[in-house]
Structure 1
Amino acid sequence: MSVQGTILVLDGASTNRIMLKVQLTAAWYHVVQGERLQGLGGLLRRARPDLVLTSQALPDGTAADVKRLVMADPDLIDVPVVAIAPQNDRAARLKALADGLDDVLAHPFKDTFLLARVRSLLRTRADTQDLQVGNESQPIGFSEPAPALLTAPKAAHVAVLTQSARAGALWQKALSKTTRHRLSAHTLTNLQGLLSGPIPDAIVMEVNADMSGLNLLADLKSRGTTRRTVLIGVLADDNADLASEALDRGADAICMGGFCADETLLRLENQIARKARVDQMRASLRRGIAESWVDPLTGLYNRRYAMRAMDQILRQSAQSGHGFAVMLADLDHFKAINDKFGHTGGDQVLTEAATRMKQAVGSAGFVARIGGEEFMIGLSDTTQANALRVAKSLCDRFRQSPFDLTDSAASVPVTISIGLISSHPNDPSQSLRPTPLDGLIKSADNALYAAKKAGRNQVRVRPCAA
């Protein structure tokens, strides 16, 4: 049997636990059961659930206590906790949402609605897990600690989307009395104002029995611009089948039984806070990925990036037949600069050298620091003559303008030696066959050695190693 996830069911009544287990195991979920708050910490560590369904009242605690225990474990911080409350008890539902529960289900409920909500919550958690390694609470591949759980941003943009402008105005007015978020109202038949301006952080939308609202949910969730926007559906009645369909179409939460400003605001706070945390994790991951390609001192790319970028240039050249060039550049007598001015002075020279290289190369290629004072420059879609002009221009930039150091009254003369390798796109022997990267770098290194041996402060060219 395929198990889609582990769900922890907590309820003091055995009949309720058994009923939920039957419903969930029929849908191939692994169910773990508990009946009280005592011992829950150990049960959570053993079961590592993907979702917790808990009665709002346990023999020795509440659903809010369960949520706090789950949140106390850094590896479970994104596990949704859903309270099960009595049917038609709106006050209990609002209290659970105010206590920070991820959702509230009114018991008894249809299998279809229960499973739709479970699927929706597990999809949300899976999105968060994609930003983590296994069960660890930190972004992929980086050692910084996990970002703290965030509160909702102070200036979130919430759009109200209704069938009629009158309903939208009433909803907006009711929400504006107590919310800190910016509100805008739109109609379902005219989405231009919603999609043409800044994309909202959340959309509260009316969902009726016709297909227009359901189709719009799916459309918004599939668009690149709105797929991370929080979508909260508001149903006029307690239609469980419609609610199930809305959840499967992409709604992040459902308000049933008509518009209720208090419930809508609580769900907004919950969902926007979750979105804020996931957005920060995603931004942290992107920064980490970017930083993994960058040399922290100079801001240039590092060797890892250079090797992959050069490999891509070679493949593109083989496919297009256009020329390319690679240079290895080395600062002359850098050890003497370090010895005289210390590592602080040496670092300043490296940073200024990086700036001059980027200015010389511009958008024609990449510059990377691949060693202490050694750099790689890759140029795509170029000729040997053009690459040689860039290399000589680079030497001139160093030779003609000495470097200013913070702790030195006099400017420091710095020169650079460059080994250049370029392809010959008109050579039939090189067409449609990538040049081996290792051989290319070895040839560039030999050219650099020749420049050093010839007196430094110059460019030497070697034939491409095909």
Structure 2
Amino acid sequence: MRETILIADPDAASRLILRSRLSEAHYQPLMACDGSACLQLAVSARPALIVIDARLGGLPNATALLHQLRSEALTAGLPLLLLCEPQDQAARLAGLEAGADDVIPRSPDLSVLLARIRNLLRRGQPTSLLAEAWGLEQPALSGFAEQLAGFQHMSSIGGSIGVIAASSETAHAWRHHIPAGLRLQAHVQTPGNGAGPPRLHDVYLICAARDDSGEEPGSGFRLMSQLASGQASRDSLCALILAQPDATVVALAYDLGADDVLAADISGAELALRLTNMLRRKAQRDGDQQRIREGLKLALIDPLTGAWNRRYAMPRLTSLCSEARRTGQPLAVLVLDIDRFKQVNDIHGHAAGDLVLTEVVQRLSATLRAGDLLARIGGEEFLIALPGTGAREASSVAERLRRLISDRPFELGEEGPDRAPGRLDLTISMGLRISTGQDDALVLTEAADGALRESKRAGRNLVTLCQSHG
């Protein structure tokens, strides 16, 4: 499916030219002749990116349109490109301050335009793919309340900037070129000086311009790739500084992952805005990644008890089985069930049942080791895996867990007005299977579950060891 790009341009001829170029590049262009139409299409068509011409008049005009798109939850995260005359510095600064991801010359070189579009679209792919996979609107996944709060004046943006150039003189010159009004720390480093990888920063300014040392842009590209592949620095943003940013080099920089490309003669005011926007994007990206990590974790955890769920437990058990085969170490698997748990819900209510389940997990977790697996795999059914544990030790652990439940009543709290706190005696039944070294996760679980059923038939509150057959 082709990605949709919305073009907001008051000039019909310009719109048609840009539509033709984007269609040839296999995008689906949409066109708007004024700000109002652009806003409507941005919400209804949900384009992947919006290209706005600075000449856009009416209400809203181009600058106001950028502000409004950034203030609406459904459009705040869209990549926004502003087109303006190269010599119109006021329009460039106004567009960057209003929230444009980049400002490029009107009638741009096609290779640069398409490379920048690809570059900006790649930036939003992880979040949009997860949103689609989870059936969510992207703002619901990404938490746009935090993003909107983060779109503040540049004087309140803070961060760390690494300035890297072939010579310390060049690096220090660029450090002093950064306006003092920004709340940031700028540090200088020269590559290839035996100091190891660059220290970690939010944004790197990499001077890839030829200077007295004879540095070529390619060295900046290599350093950018090094940063992108580093475990610590791969989430940082990089901007390349080019002395003569010709179209071929600029397009290559964007396709290699540069977050921005700066001309060596950039003004201090524009540099401040571009650095501010990169720091803002870095904060947004960090927030998105943290929310994604939390969301993925929640997808694998039982929300009531805090134990792992079946979605996590079975792949983890498969991994433990592989490790047991590789090392020759034993692996014990227990499946346990709370006896007569349905009566707890029927007599005391589901709130009491939830309390019991939560405390069962707390009691079991307090006894298990850090490397053991505890998961809730059914309503009142749990799976425990004990790596490196043979039959005798596993039987001892299982008996200790059984007594943890049976020897101390569960406190249910006040059951009603003028009533004493409810106390409930419970037991668990368990099935235990020791891996032969060849069993897979499903075989172990089914065998332990069969042993659990034997415990139930024998009167409950028991541990039954499933004997290996072969």
Percent of aligned positions that are identical: 30
1:428 corresponding residue in structure 2: none
Equivalent of residue 313 in structure 2, options 287, 306, 313: 306
1:56–1:83: 8 Å Cα contact kept in structure 2? yes
Structure 2 residue corresponding to 1:271, chosen from 257, 263, 278: 278
**Is 1:30 matched with 2:62?**
no
Question: In the alignment, which of 260, 270, 290 is matched to residue 283 of structure 1?
Answer: 290
Match of 2:171 among 168, 173, 182: 168
- The letter for the 2-side match of 1:40 is C
Aligned-partner SS, 1:132: helix
**Alpha carbons of 1:392 and 1:79: their partners in 2 closer, same or farther (altered >3 Å)?**
same
Could you say if the C-alpha distance between residues 163 and 213 of structure 1 is closer, same or farther in structure 2, counting changes exceeding 3 Å?
Answer: same
1:419 paired to 2:422: no
CA distance in 2, matches of 1:404, 1:424: 40
> What is the rounded CA distance, in whole Å, between the counterparts of 2:326 and 2:196 in structure 1?
45
The equivalent position to 2:392 in structure 1, one of 385, 390, 397, is 385
* SS in structure 1 at match of 2:219: helix
Deviation at 1:90, TM superposition (A): 2.1
8 Å CA contact retained: 1:329, 1:376: yes
**2:95 match:** 96
- The alpha carbon displacement at 1:389 in A equals 2.3
What is the alpha-carbon root mean square deviation over aligned residues?
3.6
> Match for residue 56 of structure 1?
54
Between the aligned partners of 1:235 and 1:296, the Cα distance in structure 2 is 51
Report 1:222-233 matches (<5 A): 222-233=229-240
Number of residue pairs aligned between Structure 1 and Structure 2: 452
Q: How far apart are the structure 2 equivalents of 1:256 and 1:286?
A: 37
Alpha-carbon distance in 2 for matches of 1:4, 1:105: 23
The equivalent residue for 2:213 is: none
Residues in 2 aligned to 1:191 and 1:93: alpha-carbon distance in whole angstroms: 39
Mapped to 1, the partners of 2:353 and 2:31 lie a distance apart of: 63
Secondary structure (helix, strand or coil) at the match of 1:112 reads helix
Q: How many Å apart are 1:423 and its aligned residue?
A: 3.0
Q: 1:435 and 1:109 mapped to 2: Cα distance?
A: 59
Alpha-carbon deviations, 1:211-260, whole Å to 9, x = none? 21122122222333322211122233453433233222221112224243
- Which range is displaced more, 38-47 or 293-302? 38-47
User: 8 Å contact 1:128–1:278 — kept in the other structure?
Assistant: no
Distance in 1 of aligned mates of 2:303 and 2:4: 42
What pairs with 1:110-129 in structure 2 (closer than 5 Å)? 110-129=109-128
Separation in structure 2 between the aligned mates of residue 92 and residue 36 of structure 1, nearest angstrom: 17
Cα distance between partner residues in 2 of 1:231 and 1:316: 40
CA contact (8 A) 2:413 2:422 kept: no
**In the alignment, which residue of structure 1 is the partner of 2:159?**
156
Normalised TM-score (structure 1): 0.82
Distance 1:37 1:155, change over 3 A: closer
What residue is the counterpart of 1:218 in the other structure?
225
Deviations 1:309-345 (A, max 9, x none): 3344455556766543321223456567678876666
Structure 1 counterpart of 2:188:
185
Over 3 Å counting, the alpha-carbon distance change for 1:27 and 1:443 in structure 2 is closer
1:430-441 correspondence runs (5 A): 431=438, 434-435=439-440, 437=442, 440-441=444-445
* Letter in structure 1 aligned against 2:66: K
The alignment's TM-score, normalised by the length of structure 2, stands at 0.82
The Cα offsets for residues 278-313 of structure 1, whole Å up to 9 and x where unpaired, read as 322222222122112212232111233333433444
Mapped contact 2:128–2:138 kept (Cα < 8 A)? no
- Deviation of 1:179 after TM superposition, in Å, equals 0.8
| Equivalent pair of 1:232/1:255 in contact (CA under 8 Å) | yes
1:243 to 243, 250, 274: 250
Aligned AA for 1:104? Answer: V
* One-letter amino acid matched to 1:16: S
2-side partners of 1:46 and 1:345: how far apart?
A: 47
Give me the whole-angstrom Cα distance separating, in 1, the residues matched to 2:95 and 2:300.
45
The CA distance in 1 between the partners of 2:361 and 2:39, in whole Å, is: 53
Q: Structure 1 unaligned runs (5+)?
A: 426-430
Shift of 1:96: 1.1
SS of residue paired to 1:183: strand
- Which amino acid is the alignment partner of residue 50 of structure 2? V
Cα distance in structure 2, aligned partners of 1:409 and 1:136: 44
Instruction: Flag the 1:246–1:349 CA change in 2: closer, same or farther, 3 A.
Output: same
